[in-house]
Chain A
Amino acid sequence: MGWTTSAAAATQTTASVLAAETSEAAEEVLAASGWFLENAWLIPAFPALSFLLILFFGKRFPKRGSEIGILAVGASLVFALAAAIQWISEVNRADDKNAALDAVSTTWTWWQNGGINFTFGTLVDGLAVTLLVVVTIVSLLVHIYSTDYLADDRRYTHFFAFLSFFTASMLFFVLSENTLQMIVGWELVGVCSFVLIGHWWEEKPNSSAALKAMLTNRVGDIGLLVGVSVLFFAAGETFSVLELNERAISGNIEHLPLLVGACALTAAVLSKSGQFFLHTWLPDAMAGPTPVSALIHAATMVVAGVYLIARLYGVFFEGFAIAGSSVNLLAVIGGITTLVGASLAFVQRDIKRVLAYSTISQLGYMVLALGVGAWTAAVFHLFTHAFFKACLFLGSGSVSHAVHSFDMKSDMGGLRKYMPHTYRTFMIASLALAGLPPLAGFWSKDEILAGTGGWGLVGGTGGNGAYTVMLVMGLITAALTAAYMTRCVYLTFFGQYRGHGQPHESGPRIVVPLWILAVLAVGAGWLNLPPGFQLVPENWTERFGHFVEPNEALSYFPKIAHADPSWTLAILSAVVALAGIALAGRYYFGKVAAVSPSATELSDGMVARSSLAAAGHNLLVNKYYLDHLYSGVIAGGVKGPIARAAYKFNQDGIDKVVNEVGERAVQAGHFAYDVIDQKVVDGMVNSSGVAPQLAGEEIRRMQTGKVQTYAGIVFIAAALLALGFIVFL
């Protein structure tokens, strides 16, 4: 191992690291330009258009609309890659001039009211470009995968329409230039997830899961609304992401409203990114079709919360005073989530639920990383995690395609013989998730652990604070992750097949995406090798961080400190992961396999022997009783008394009043009808009719029709007139 980080560097004080880095900071800010960066709105526009096309005309196409979706997302991918290439070349151009590259913000005025400009537009920088690429790659592969996986589905066209719409919404969210736009994207993503989770709504559990996802997310959405409003007023009436960050960092926003805003936004992150204690919807969301789980609940949608923090990092960084502390809300939530998710993954029978809890755990990692100020590590973990987790989810879908079940204990086992491609890709992604070098997960996980700044043995210091507790949590999770993935792999692919029929490998449209993702799961980590890693030339290290992290000279990004990488910590994390694999492997490959090849657990294991272990197991099986807490205690407890009180109030209070009022009203109505209406009004109307009627009857007789009578009347009248003239004049 060749790490240049010396012991002397490791003992540097935070101040000197900061000083060293400010000296490197760029002198001027260069505006980035580029057609693809300025016209990034096209990237979400393609799938949005395809959504409408598929929805209205999809069934008329030979492939029932799927080809439109694939084409649109493919176009988005091309544009996203072009934007990424342009961004990289712009960063290089700025480097040559020793300048910082500013984000490309393109805005249009939507409407104006009371002097406030409501704008919409795109904000493209390294972070946005990363997400664009991740979302479009995973989405394209999921589209292709779905053409096989859902080939016989009755709502095939509908499914593809919403897959497109989801992709468009997520891309729209990623490109948001202001927080209002973010709310729109955030909600659109939520709606799509509701529709897609409930894709097979005919079965009650699926529609319940969709509702649960929707309702749990609503809790957080309130946080988002409150947070955006608080920040809007606190920052002097602006929704702009860049301005919010700038004003938060420059101290133009008072600390209290900033803290309140950051806390409210954290609530939004809790629900969307499945953080403890609003994570309960995510495992249930596995009721949706597997490609949806891969796309929405692993790789893209759930990272919306992480992206929100990363995007508004100035607000969070200053609001929680991440620099120079050793504990804050984000770090604690991330730490707890990562442990809770990892521990719950142990007791699941359903392979997708294992992966769902694993996602929660890994999202916890990202939030933890953001909480300790390791911004780049968090974004990098988001990047690598998307690939290996999508690979795992699609792999579990491939397995379920073969055995028609998700239950690892009763319907799987021994599948490595039947499904070699799925097995290999699943293994690669599992090892990447477990964090073994040199796979992707290792590098990003290691950066997060180093970023806590809590390690002091040769490197690993110089972070934003001494987050030692978070480091310990991260290490425990590393071991747990490795162990539960070992369990999952054993139950699925090793031992003896326990299901029915003869499973067989899936078709190319499923296997090829798996392999692409597996390759990315191996290689994605090499994009951000730690600085000073001597096995490769120096300009190969930290590429990702260099292009993605905003330069220090930019006012919209906080001055974060970067902890030194530590090879001792890297070795420790790898050893911890290996220990997790070894422990779980000894249990499954050793003891369980020895009992019988088709066994899934020991009948006389810890749980059977020790009541403490049994209690622990019970706690995990019941998901820390959180669902009971929500639906039983909180919902039930609130529902019961309120319902009773409301009933009593209803019966004795409102009903009485209503009845009384009703009776009086009826009486008044009778009076009005009998007296006023019938006698007064009708009498007037009738009598006014009677007079003309009688007069008409009389006058009618004069109309004899005989001309001579008329003439007589005329003569008489003329004679009378003449008489009148004679007499009166």
Chain B
Amino acid sequence: MYVSQFAVLAAVLFAMGVYGILVRRNGILVLMSVELILNSVNINLVAFGALRDSIAGEVFALFVITVAAAEVGVGLAIVLLIYRNRRSVDLSEMDLMKG
């Protein structure tokens, strides 16, 4: 088993996540893309932890999963409220911060 396989997998997942964040207009899908990025990080943490025969990577991965659960909870709540107010979760319409 090579660590490079995990690294490639993580890089692919990361790239997919970034792509999803930058391109998707649906807020929920953007949130899901964020999850992809986080999970790619998890993969890296676990893989490099195993490589170095350390448990720290797995501990960090567990932390990230916990934080990600909380993050997605808050994120979904925001999206839900936006939907209630605007009847849409299209991010391209949300430009109140335009300078």
Residues of A within 8 A of B (CB): 699-708, 711-712, 715
Those 9 A-B pairs whose CB atoms lie nearest each other, nearest first = A703-B99, A705-B95, A705-B98, A705-B97, A700-B99, A712-B22, A711-B21, A706-B95, A708-B22
Within 8 Å by CB of A704, from B22, B23, B30, B95, lies B95
Q: Closest approach, in angstroms, between the C-beta of B93 and any C-beta of chain A?
A: 9
Within 8 Å by CB of B22, from A700, A701, A711, lies A711
Q: Closest approach, in angstroms, between the C-beta of A708 and any C-beta of chain B?
A: 6
**Could you pull out 8 A-B pairs where Cβ atoms are within 8 angstroms?**
A703-B98, A703-B99, A704-B99, A706-B91, A706-B94, A707-B94, A708-B92, A715-B18
Asked if B96 is at the interface (CB within 8 A of a chain A CB), the reply is: yes
Known contacts A701-B99, A705-B96, A708-B91, then 12 further A-B pairs from the complex at CB < 8 Å, ordered by chain A residue = A704-B95, A704-B99, A705-B99, A706-B91, A706-B95, A708-B21, A708-B22, A708-B23, A708-B92, A711-B22, A715-B18, A715-B21
Contacts of B21 in A (CB 8 A): 708, 711, 715
| Distance between Cα atoms of A304 and B63 in the complex (Å) | 103
Q: Which residue of B lies closest to A700 (CB)?
A: B99
Residues from 25 to 81 in B contacting A, C-beta threshold 8 Å: 30
| Distance between Cα atoms of A712 and B20 in the complex (Å) | 11
Contacts of B98 in A (CB 8 A): 703-706
Contacts of A701 in B (CB 8 A): 99
Contacts of A699 in B (CB 8 A): 99
| Distance between Cα atoms of A707 and B30 in the complex (Å) | 11
Q: Which residue of A lies closest to B93 (CB)?
A: A706
Q: Tell me whether A705 and B94 are in contact (CB under 8 A).
A: yes
Contacts of B92 in A (CB 8 A): 706, 708
Q: Closest approach, in angstroms, between the C-beta of B86 and any C-beta of chain A?
A: 14
Contacts of A707 in B (CB 8 A): 91, 94
Contacts of A708 in B (CB 8 A): 21-23, 30, 91-92
| Distance between Cα atoms of A700 and B98 in the complex (Å) | 8
Q: Closest approach, in angstroms, between the C-beta of B59 and any C-beta of chain A?
A: 25
Q: Tell me whether A703 and B97 are in contact (CB under 8 A).
A: yes
Q: Closest approach, in angstroms, between the C-beta of A2 and any C-beta of chain B?
A: 122
Contacts of B30 in A (CB 8 A): 708
Contacts of A712 in B (CB 8 A): 22
Q: Which residue of A lies closest to B94 (CB)?
A: A707
Q: Closest approach, in angstroms, between the C-beta of B92 and any C-beta of chain A?
A: 6
Contacts of B95 in A (CB 8 A): 704-706
| Distance between Cα atoms of A701 and B95 in the complex (Å) | 13
| Distance between Cα atoms of A162 and B93 in the complex (Å) | 86
Q: Which residue of B lies closest to A710 (CB)?
A: B97
Q: Tell me whether A715 and B91 are in contact (CB under 8 A).
A: no
Q: Closest approach, in angstroms, between the C-beta of A655 and any C-beta of chain B?
A: 63
Q: Closest approach, in angstroms, between the C-beta of B23 and any C-beta of chain A?
A: 8
Q: Which residue of B lies closest to A718 (CB)?
A: B18
| Distance between Cα atoms of A674 and B23 in the complex (Å) | 58
| Distance between Cα atoms of A708 and B99 in the complex (Å) | 15
Contacts of A702 in B (CB 8 A): 99
Contacts of B91 in A (CB 8 A): 706-708
Q: Closest approach, in angstroms, between the C-beta of B10 and any C-beta of chain A?
A: 14
Q: Which residue of B lies closest to A712 (CB)?
A: B22
| Distance between Cα atoms of A700 and B99 in the complex (Å) | 5
Contacts of B22 in A (CB 8 A): 708, 711-712, 715
Contacts of B23 in A (CB 8 A): 708
Contacts of A700 in B (CB 8 A): 99
Q: Closest approach, in angstroms, between the C-beta of B53 and any C-beta of chain A?
A: 26
Q: Which residue of B lies closest to A709 (CB)?
A: B22
Contacts of B18 in A (CB 8 A): 715
Q: Which residue of B lies closest to A703 (CB)?
A: B99
Q: Closest approach, in angstroms, between the C-beta of B95 and any C-beta of chain A?
A: 3
| Distance between Cα atoms of A708 and B90 in the complex (Å) | 11
| Distance between Cα atoms of A706 and B96 in the complex (Å) | 8
Contacts of B99 in A (CB 8 A): 699-705
Q: Closest approach, in angstroms, between the C-beta of B25 and any C-beta of chain A?
A: 8
Q: Closest approach, in angstroms, between the C-beta of A700 and any C-beta of chain B?
A: 5
Q: Closest approach, in angstroms, between the C-beta of A719 and any C-beta of chain B?
A: 9
| Distance between Cα atoms of A704 and B99 in the complex (Å) | 6
Q: Which residue of A lies closest to B21 (CB)?
A: A711
Q: Which residue of B lies closest to A701 (CB)?
A: B99
Q: Closest approach, in angstroms, between the C-beta of A715 and any C-beta of chain B?
A: 6
Contacts of A704 in B (CB 8 A): 95, 98-99
| Distance between Cα atoms of A702 and B18 in the complex (Å) | 20
Q: Which residue of A lies closest to B23 (CB)?
A: A708
Contacts of B94 in A (CB 8 A): 705-707
Q: Which residue of B lies closest to A696 (CB)?
A: B99
Q: Which residue of A lies closest to B18 (CB)?
A: A715
Interface centre among A706, A712, A715 (most CB of B within 10 A): A706
| Distance between Cα atoms of A410 and B95 in the complex (Å) | 105
Q: Closest approach, in angstroms, between the C-beta of A283 and any C-beta of chain B?
A: 90
Contacts of A706 in B (CB 8 A): 91-92, 94-95, 98
| Distance between Cα atoms of A472 and B30 in the complex (Å) | 129
Q: Closest approach, in angstroms, between the C-beta of B16 and any C-beta of chain A?
A: 13
| Distance between Cα atoms of A707 and B95 in the complex (Å) | 8
| Distance between Cα atoms of A700 and B97 in the complex (Å) | 11
Q: Closest approach, in angstroms, between the C-beta of A180 and any C-beta of chain B?
A: 76
| Distance between Cα atoms of A705 and B22 in the complex (Å) | 14
| Distance between Cα atoms of A643 and B23 in the complex (Å) | 95
Q: Closest approach, in angstroms, between the C-beta of B69 and any C-beta of chain A?
A: 21
Contacts of A705 in B (CB 8 A): 94-99
| Distance between Cα atoms of A197 and B72 in the complex (Å) | 97
Contacts of A711 in B (CB 8 A): 21-22
| Distance between Cα atoms of A499 and B21 in the complex (Å) | 119
| Distance between Cα atoms of A715 and B92 in the complex (Å) | 18
| Distance between Cα atoms of A156 and B12 in the complex (Å) | 108
| Distance between Cα atoms of A711 and B18 in the complex (Å) | 9
Q: Closest approach, in angstroms, between the C-beta of A574 and any C-beta of chain B?
A: 115
| Distance between Cα atoms of A707 and B97 in the complex (Å) | 9
Q: Closest approach, in angstroms, between the C-beta of B56 and any C-beta of chain A?
A: 22
Q: Which residue of B lies closest to A711 (CB)?
A: B21
| Distance between Cα atoms of A703 and B18 in the complex (Å) | 21
| Distance between Cα atoms of A707 and B23 in the complex (Å) | 11
| Distance between Cα atoms of A704 and B93 in the complex (Å) | 11
Contacts of B97 in A (CB 8 A): 703, 705
Q: Closest approach, in angstroms, between the C-beta of A230 and any C-beta of chain B?
A: 83
| Distance between Cα atoms of A512 and B28 in the complex (Å) | 113
Q: Closest approach, in angstroms, between the C-beta of B19 and any C-beta of chain A?
A: 10
Chain B 1-29 interface 0/1 with A at a Cβ cutoff of 8 Å (1 = within)? 00000000000000000100111000000
Q: Closest approach, in angstroms, between the C-beta of A420 and any C-beta of chain B?
A: 106
| Distance between Cα atoms of A362 and B21 in the complex (Å) | 116
| Distance between Cα atoms of A704 and B97 in the complex (Å) | 7
Q: Closest approach, in angstroms, between the C-beta of B64 and any C-beta of chain A?
A: 18
| Distance between Cα atoms of A715 and B37 in the complex (Å) | 12
